[in-house]
């Protein structure tokens, strides 16, 4: 890695380059997301020593949205092993939108009869992953989910209640997905509880610094580099990163990987986390999204910063 001053200069340069970029649009299918300031723009990067480099607004909280899918999937893998997610949900891209019901129909009937063709980073698979977290009651399961997210972030996170209420009142599509997931065996019981817990996890409030620390926990073998807590077994991390690489940026996951090589996950909040294994975890929050649903400024800033810092794990210098 470069010296601290050089890392900061790279981050400052990306911030300055994209601060005035006006492109994309806030998500508005969850009413509360349309109200978030579209000019919010924060960049945070965490290195192996737990040092945090920032530019812009890294303190304002947004709802974590789909970035939570990574951590609930990781929690299930931690509890139940790599095969749990692969055999119950699948680890392939659907090639369809993240909230597609057609994707559920397309793979119906394969559970138990072969490898299911879904993944835990789209809504159907994520609702299924949430339903897999063990616990005797909704409260017990919720305490585990928010606890795992908090351990990765290194502070006690809480739910943004206005977002939770807004999404709960408008998530009929996810309810339909939950019911279908029960019908086809991906969710074993109580789909309304799974959808509610999923909605809660998407409403967890995080700032850019939290997201960068969560990414760094994955970058450094499951150990939060600031708190030194081993949150996820190191042997379980590569599987989590593989699903992020395959499906983290929706239908643009291939393009993203082509230009960055980084496992990443975006959310409709405008956040993206990305992981350079052994080098850094990075997060950017900027709400306006492109057609594929990914933050415009976040994609550009992370690409520039990672490439300037040699973050692409596929890129080795000439022999």
Interacting residues with ligand DON (CB under 6 A): 65-66, 98-99, 122-123, 167, 174, 202, 267-268
Tell me the closest approach of the beta carbon of residue 163 to ligand DON, in angstroms: 9
**Alpha-carbon gap, residue 92 to 210, rounded angstroms:** 28
| Residue 225 or 267 with smaller CB distance to ligand DON | 267
Residue nearest to ligand DON (CB): 66
Tell me the closest approach of the beta carbon of residue 288 to ligand DON, in angstroms: 14
H-assigned helices in 19-160: 31-34, 67-80, 82-88, 101-106, 123-132, 138-153
Determine the angle formed by the axes of helices 138-153 and 191-202, rounding to 10 degrees.
Answer: 30
Tell me the closest approach of the beta carbon of residue 220 to ligand DON, in angstroms: 25
**Alpha-carbon gap, residue 12 to 6, rounded angstroms:** 10
**Alpha-carbon gap, residue 306 to 280, rounded angstroms:** 9
| Residue 55 or 122 with smaller CB distance to ligand DON | 122
Neighbours of 114 (CB within 10 A): 10
Neighbours of 45 (CB within 10 A): 32
| Residue 154 or 267 with smaller CB distance to ligand DON | 267
**Alpha-carbon gap, residue 279 to 283, rounded angstroms:** 14
Q: Which residues of 282-303 are buried (b: 16+ CB within 10 A; e: fewer)?
A: bbbbbbbbeeebbbbbbbbbbb
| Residue 56 or 267 with smaller CB distance to ligand DON | 267
Tell me the closest approach of the beta carbon of residue 287 to ligand DON, in angstroms: 12
By the 8 A CB rule, do 146 and 274 touch?
no
Bridge partners of residue 284, in order along the sequence: 43, 272
| Residue 151 or 167 with smaller CB distance to ligand DON | 167
**Alpha-carbon gap, residue 70 to 224, rounded angstroms:** 15
By the 8 A CB rule, do 225 and 48 touch?
yes
| Residue 7 or 67 with smaller CB distance to ligand DON | 67
**Alpha-carbon gap, residue 27 to 288, rounded angstroms:** 7
Tell me the closest approach of the beta carbon of residue 83 to ligand DON, in angstroms: 23
151 φ/ψ sector (left φ>0, alpha ψ -120 to 50, else beta)? alpha
Tell me the closest approach of the beta carbon of residue 171 to ligand DON, in angstroms: 6
| Residue 66 or 207 with smaller CB distance to ligand DON | 66
Tell me the closest approach of the beta carbon of residue 293 to ligand DON, in angstroms: 6
Tell me the closest approach of the beta carbon of residue 8 to ligand DON, in angstroms: 30
Which among 278, 243, 285 is positioned nearest to 264, based on CA atoms? 243
Tell me the closest approach of the beta carbon of residue 99 to ligand DON, in angstroms: 5
Q: How far is CA 286 from CA 144, 266, 310, in A?
A: 28, 11, 23
| Residue 206 or 268 with smaller CB distance to ligand DON | 268
| Residue 7 or 249 with smaller CB distance to ligand DON | 249
């Amino acid at each position: 890695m470069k010296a601290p001053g050089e890392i900061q200069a790279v981050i400052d340069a990306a911030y300055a380059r994209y601060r005035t970029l006006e492109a994309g649009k806030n998500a508005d299918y969850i009413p509360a997301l349309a109200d978030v300031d579209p000019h919010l723009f924060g960049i945070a990067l965490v290195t192996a020593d737990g040092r945090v480099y920032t530019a812009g607004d890294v303190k304002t909280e947004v709802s974590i949205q789909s970035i939570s899918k990574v951590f609930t999937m990781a929690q299930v893998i931690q509890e139940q092993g790599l095969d749990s997610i692969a055999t119950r949900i699948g680890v392939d891209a659907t090639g369809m939108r993240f909230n597609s019901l057609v994707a559920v129909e397309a793979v119906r009937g394969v559970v138990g009869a072969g490898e299911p063709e879904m993944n835990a980073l789209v809504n159907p698979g994520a609702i299924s992953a949430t339903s897999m977290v063990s616990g005797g009651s909704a409260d017990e399961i919720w305490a585990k989910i928010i606890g795992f997210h908090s351990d990765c972030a290194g502070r006690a996170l809480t739910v943004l209640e206005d977002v939770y209420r807004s999404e709960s009142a408008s998530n009929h599509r996810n309810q339909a997905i939950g019911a279908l997931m029960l019908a086809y065996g991906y969710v074993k019981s109580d789909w309304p509880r799974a959808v509610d817990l999923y909605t809660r996890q998407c409403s967890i409030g995080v700032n850019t610094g939290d997201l960068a620390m969560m990414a760094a926990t994955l970058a450094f073998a499951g150990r939060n580099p600031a708190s030194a807590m081993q949150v996820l077994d190191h042997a379980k991390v590569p599987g989590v990163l593989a699903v992020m690489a395959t499906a983290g940026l929706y239908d643009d996951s291939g393009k993203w990987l082509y230009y960055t090589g980084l496992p990443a996950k975006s959310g409709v909040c405008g956040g993206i986390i990305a992981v350079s294994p052994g080098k850094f975890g990075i997060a950017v929050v900027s709400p306006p999204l492109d057609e594929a649903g990914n933050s415009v400024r976040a994609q550009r800033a992370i690409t520039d910063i990672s490439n300037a810092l040699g973050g692409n794990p596929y890129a080795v210098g000439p022999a």
